[in-house]
Structure 1
Amino acid sequence: MSIERIFTKPPSAQGQQEHEQVLVIAGAGIEGDRYYARHDEPGQNITLVEAEEIEAFLLAHERPYDLSITHRNLVTRGVRLNDLVGREFQVGDVRLRGVELCEPCAGLGGMLASPALSVAAAVKHFVHRAGLRADVLSSGTIARGAKVG
């Protein structure tokens, strides 16, 4: 039960950036991420997704291995994120609160669609499996390999 990969997308960047570790600020999220200090939606501080769900999608649709495809910040392994909705939990030394499932939208569907896979089918695949939105309750550093619990 750990963090396998860490991604951010700076406000001015086109693509995502991968990190070995990131600074996380209570009530604001990951420093430098496009959603840092924004409060437009609940749980906007940080997003998590299960590596196993991404891998299932990639295998089912014969896609190259890429754990960044959902554009979530933290990719976990061995953690059932749906069970963390409404609960406080730790990622390394940082405390988070699971706010709600990060359900797929047409934007994600559009990024994942292909000639063989419609936007609707991509969205349907990730319903209840696209991750978790969370609030950051304490500041600290989250590093690759950090334990989740």
Structure 2
Amino acid sequence: MPEIVELLASPVRRYQGRPADGPEPAPPGELVRQIRIRAGLGIVGDRYFGRQAHRDASITVIAQESLPPGAGLAQVRRNILVAGIDVDSLVGSVLSLDSGDGPVRLRVNRAAKPCAWMDAVIGPGAWRALRGRGGVRCTPLDDGVLRLGPVVATTTS
């Protein structure tokens, strides 16, 4: 059964400037057990919540199977880490996730391309390894809550 492995709602951007300068410090509590989602706005408390420039990409989802061992959301800066769902193949679809509080639909708009920061925070070669497997950028279509653990996942065109 698919599951939600990690959730990230961070109020700050950590990767600014050059990777050689290192990331900004992580705020405490950015990895959470649940997230509250608002349709068209994103994740409550996240840095991209309600930002006009990010309305079609306010939530990012990545598959655990795409990441090197030991890497997680703190490094790749995506919002939802899932296992058992090939999210990179879902561009153009609607992904529905239900972790027990009702379904939350996400319109999968485009690939979330990795950047050079991946080599700095995960290790050399991570940027290249994540090309085509960096997750997806989504627009939330429903208000709802997602929690860690098993999830019912469905897709529609």
Q: Assess if the C-alpha contact under 8 Å between 1:42 and 1:99 holds in 2.
A: no
Q: 1:75 to 1:40 in 2, by over 3 A?
A: same
Aligned length: 135
Backbone CA RMSD of aligned residues: 2.0
| Aligned sequence identity (%) | 26
Q: Map 1:1-149 onto structure 2 (within 5 A).
A: 1-11=2-12, 14-15=25-26, 17-41=30-54, 43-54=56-67, 57-58=68-69, 65-68=70-73, 69-92=75-98, 93-113=103-123, 117=124, 121-145=125-149, 146-149=151-154
Q: C-alpha distance in 2, partners of 1:133/1:112?
A: 21
**Could you list the runs of 4 or more consecutive aligned residues of structure 1 that deviate by over 6 angstroms after TM superposition?**
none
Q: Assess if the C-alpha contact under 8 Å between 2:62 and 2:82 holds in 1.
A: yes
TM-score, normalised to structure 2, is 0.77
**What CA deviation, in whole Å up to 9, does each residue of 1:80-112 have, x standing for no partner?**
112211101211111111011101112334333
Aligned to 2:20: none
Q: C-alpha distance in 1, partners of 2:115/2:71?
A: 19
SS class of match (1:130):
coil
Cα displacement (A) at 1:41: 4.4
TM-score, normalised to structure 1, is 0.81
Unaligned runs of 5+ in 1: 59-64
Unaligned runs of 5+ in 2: 15-24
Aligned to 1:62: none
